């Protein structure tokens, strides 16, 4: 993208797409135990707020994961999506995530035809790119939009990222996502990453996306820094709900974007009614000291999640434990 097309703080770029990932990343907090009323209200709120894509959850393999242990959005059956969106006679598109190694895409993802799903987002670690490309080829052939979300980019070398971008450049992938899984990337580093992805995107005709985590209170900052440089696909979740420290909050993002099609008030109304209720019922996510520590040390948040689940508050001891694993 040429610099003059990137927009300024007072203009907007029509190519921006906001992706609501509340059910998918938020589902990692509560095992996808969202009520039908919540999901329906979320769909309505997103449509009215002008959100471009709503991700319903994972397309997980029910032979691997016991359906009794998870809510339905771990599996995203088309009938379940239909029950919420009907004909989805709205401008908003529907996405699902296919996790490399955790889905049986050949069995579970069929012809676009009458499917309510518009886009499959394929999550992969950088070592799993061939597998991700295979899923993308499958989905593209069947008529879906595709993204590949390269997770844990903070653990990959510059060289690995270059190779990954070349491989994805040649693949049937519409959007390549920067994913800061551990919330460890500072804006200064994020801008370097974004420029690198955008360069590849320009070369191969791909859009670039950003999915940020809030371990260091940087999810929103990193998202809007990417936006200013030309990253078009922006992930956000209601109240930042997502694994561990969570994601970029939708209410922050829509408050920032200048495109008049985005309407903050509908997001606010949803947060007021539904996200507060979720928190009050005991669902816990968002910035907290243990996530800061795994973020600083560039680690998966699992140990911090466990620390909080056990009700521990001994931050210094936790920090020592993390350092012992260096």
Residue 167 vs 296, nearer CB to a copy of itself: 296
- Residue 147, classed as helix, strand or coil, is strand
If binding is defined by CB under 8 A, does position 62 make contact with a copy of itself? Answer: no
* Contact yes or no for 209/177 (Cβ under 8 A): yes
If binding is defined by CB under 8 A, does position 217 make contact with a copy of itself? Answer: yes
If binding is defined by CB under 8 A, does position 99 make contact with a copy of itself? Answer: no
Residue 66 vs 280, nearer CB to a copy of itself: 280
* Contact yes or no for 165/133 (Cβ under 8 A): no
Instruction: Please name the residues in contact with 96: beta carbons below 8 A apart, sequence gap of 6 or more.
Output: 24, 55, 56, 57, 58, 59, 76, 81, 117, 119, 120, 121
Cα–Cα–Cα angle for 219, 221, 223, nearest 5°?
Answer: 70
If binding is defined by CB under 8 A, does position 142 make contact with a copy of itself? Answer: no
Number of residues lying near a copy of itself (CB under 8 A): 38
Which token pair is 301?
């948040």
Rg of the chain over Cα atoms, rounded to whole angstroms, equals: 19
Q: Nearest approach, Cβ of 315 to a copy of itself (angstroms)?
A: 4
If binding is defined by CB under 8 A, does position 12 make contact with a copy of itself? Answer: no
Cα(191)–Cα(188) distance, integer angstroms = 5
Q: Nearest approach, Cβ of 231 to a copy of itself (angstroms)?
A: 14
Cα(195)–Cα(230) distance, integer angstroms = 9
If binding is defined by CB under 8 A, does position 249 make contact with a copy of itself? Answer: yes
The residue range among 47-55, 78-86, 133-141, 252-260 that interacts with a copy of itself, by the rule CB under 8 A, is 252-260
* H or E, element range at 97: strand 93-99
The residue range among 75-83, 120-128, 155-163, 221-229 that interacts with a copy of itself, by the rule CB under 8 A, is 221-229
Instruction: Please name the residues in contact with 117: beta carbons below 8 A apart, sequence gap of 6 or more.
Output: 76, 78, 81, 94, 95, 96, 144
- Residue 175, classed as helix, strand or coil, is strand
Residue 36 vs 314, nearer CB to a copy of itself: 314
Residue 170 vs 188, nearer CB to a copy of itself: 188
Strand partners, 121: 97, 147
If binding is defined by CB under 8 A, does position 292 make contact with a copy of itself? Answer: yes
Please report, as residue ranges, which positions from 157 to 196 form the binding site for a copy of itself (by CB under 8 A).
186-189
Name the residues that contact a copy of itself, by CB under 8 A. Answer: 9, 186-189, 214, 216-222, 224-225, 228, 249, 251-252, 255-256, 264-265, 268-269, 271-272, 276, 287, 289, 292-293, 296, 313-316, 319
């Amino acid at each position: 993208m040429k610099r003059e097309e990137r927009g300024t703080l007072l203009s907007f770029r029509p190519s921006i797409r906001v992706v609501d990932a509340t059910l998918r990343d938020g589902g990692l907090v509560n095992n996808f135990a969202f009520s039908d009323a919540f999901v329906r209200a979320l769909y309505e709120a997103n449509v009215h707020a002008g959100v471009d894509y709503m991700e319903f959850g994972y397309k997980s393999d029910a032979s691997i994961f016991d359906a009794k242990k998870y809510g339905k959005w771990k599996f995203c059956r088309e009938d379940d999506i239909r029950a919420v969106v009907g004909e989805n006679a709205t401008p908003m598109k529907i996405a699902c995530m296919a996790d490399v190694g955790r889905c049986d895409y050949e069995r579970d993802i069929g012809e676009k035809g009458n499917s309510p799903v518009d886009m499959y987002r394929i999550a992969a670690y950088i070592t799993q790119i061939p597998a991700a490309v295979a899923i993308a080829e499958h989905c593209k052939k069947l008529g879906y939009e595709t993204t590949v979300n390269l997770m844990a980019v903070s653990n990959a070398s510059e060289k690995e990222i270059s190779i990954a971008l070349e491989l994805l450049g040649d693949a049937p992938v519409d959007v390549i996502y920067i994913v800061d899984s551990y919330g460890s990337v500072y804006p200064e580093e994020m801008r370097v990453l974004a420029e690198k992805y955008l360069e590849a995107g320009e070369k191969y005709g791909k859009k670039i996306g950003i999915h940020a985590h809030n371990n260091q209170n940087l999810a929103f900052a990193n998202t809007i820094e990417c936006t200013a440089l030309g990253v078009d696909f922006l992930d956000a979740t209601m109240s930042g709900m997502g694994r561990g420290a969570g994601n970029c909050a939708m209410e922050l993002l829509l408050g920032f974007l200048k495109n008049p099609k985005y309407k903050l008030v509908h997001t606010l109304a949803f947060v007021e009614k539904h996200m507060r209720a979720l928190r009050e019922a005991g669902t816990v996510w968002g910035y907290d000291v243990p996530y800061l520590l795994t973020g600083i040390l560039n680690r998966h948040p699992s140990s911090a999640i466990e620390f909080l689940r056990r009700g521990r508050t001994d931050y210094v001891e936790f920090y020592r434990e993390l350092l012992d694993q260096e």
